[in-house]
């Protein structure tokens, strides 16, 4: 089930990004799929928690191929697909490695690894995919706002996910103590 949620969140992020115009909060520009991208890091951590790091890389490659295929099918240019693939593999790999190495409770590992993954995903995709360096969708003046807006949203999603995982852990511990 974890794998299904992981893969579906990636597909849904592509579909939502293609279907809806980006949100604008003041100067910040946030594609709608950003909400789901933050969740993909949490789902990936849950997959890794159950299946281990080595198998998780297999799921990341599967997700990468699925994401690229969906993105291209929805009309993204090859440059956008390539930028998305690069940002995805770098961010997911960083998230995986950080999550693996931290010796903290799961909720903190999810939070910290997701922040780094979200940061890398945002910077790489916006600079390579959207800036004048890439597809020239955003002018250089808008690039910082696009990056920061995505980082803020992904961080909030990570905080919510870490809080929920912590609450689940606390309830399971209480249930175990009572039993």
Residue 166 CB coordination number (10 Å): 16
Mean pLDDT of 18-38: 89
For residue 57, give the CATH number of its domain.
1.10.1760
> How far is C-alpha 26 from the geometric centre of its chain's CA atoms?
23
The overall average pLDDT reported for the chain is: 93
Which domain covers residue 149, as residue numbers? 1-178
Q: In whole angstroms, what is the distance from residue 125 CA to residue 111 CA? A: 21
CA distances from 29 to 57, 68, 85, 146 (A): 31, 23, 21, 5
Tell me the pLDDT tens digit for each residue of 61-87: 999 999 999 999 999 999 999 999 999
**Which tokens is 167 given?**
């609450």
State the pLDDT at residue 150. Answer: 95
Q: Would the CA dihedral through 143, 148, 151, 157 be positive or negative?
A: negative
The pair of three-digit structure tokens given for residue 55, joined into one six-digit string? 């198998």
Residue 179 pLDDT: 63
Q: Residue 178: which pLDDT band, with cuts at 50, 70 and 90? A: low
Evaluate the CA torsion angle 158, 29, 127, 81 in order and state its sign: positive
- How far is residue 135 from each of residues 13, 83, 98, 126, measured CA to CA in Å? 20, 9, 31, 10
**Residue 28, SS3?**
strand
Count: domains in the chain: 1
pLDDT for residue 177: 67
Mean pLDDT along residues 40-57: 95
| Contact of 17 with 33, CB cutoff 8 Å | yes
Answer whether residue 96 shows pLDDT above 80: yes
| pLDDT tens track for 98-155 | 999 999 999 999 999 999 999 999 999 999 999 999 999 999 999 999 999 999 999 9
């Amino acid at each position: 089930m974890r794998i299904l949620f992981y893969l579906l969140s990636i597909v849904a992020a592509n579909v939502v990004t293609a279907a809806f115009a980006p949100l604008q909060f003041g100067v910040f520009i946030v594609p709608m799929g950003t909400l789901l991208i933050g969740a993909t890091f949490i789902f990936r951590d849950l997959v890794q928690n159950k299946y281990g790091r080595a198998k998780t890389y297999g799921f990341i490659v599967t997700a990468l191929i699925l994401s690229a295929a969906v993105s291209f099918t929805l009309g993204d240019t090859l440059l956008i697909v390539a930028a998305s693939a690069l940002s995805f593999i770098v961010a997911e790999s960083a998230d995986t490695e950080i999550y693996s190495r931290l010796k903290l409770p799961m909720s903190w590992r999810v939070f910290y690894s997701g922040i780094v993954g979200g940061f890398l995903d945002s910077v790489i995709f916006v600079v390579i995919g959207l800036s004048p360096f890439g597809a020239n969708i955003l002018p250089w003046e808008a690039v910082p706002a696009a990056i920061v807006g995505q980082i803020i949203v992904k961080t909030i999603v990570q905080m919510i996910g870490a809080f929920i995982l912590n609450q689940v852990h606390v309830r399971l511990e209480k249930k175990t103590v009572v039993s």
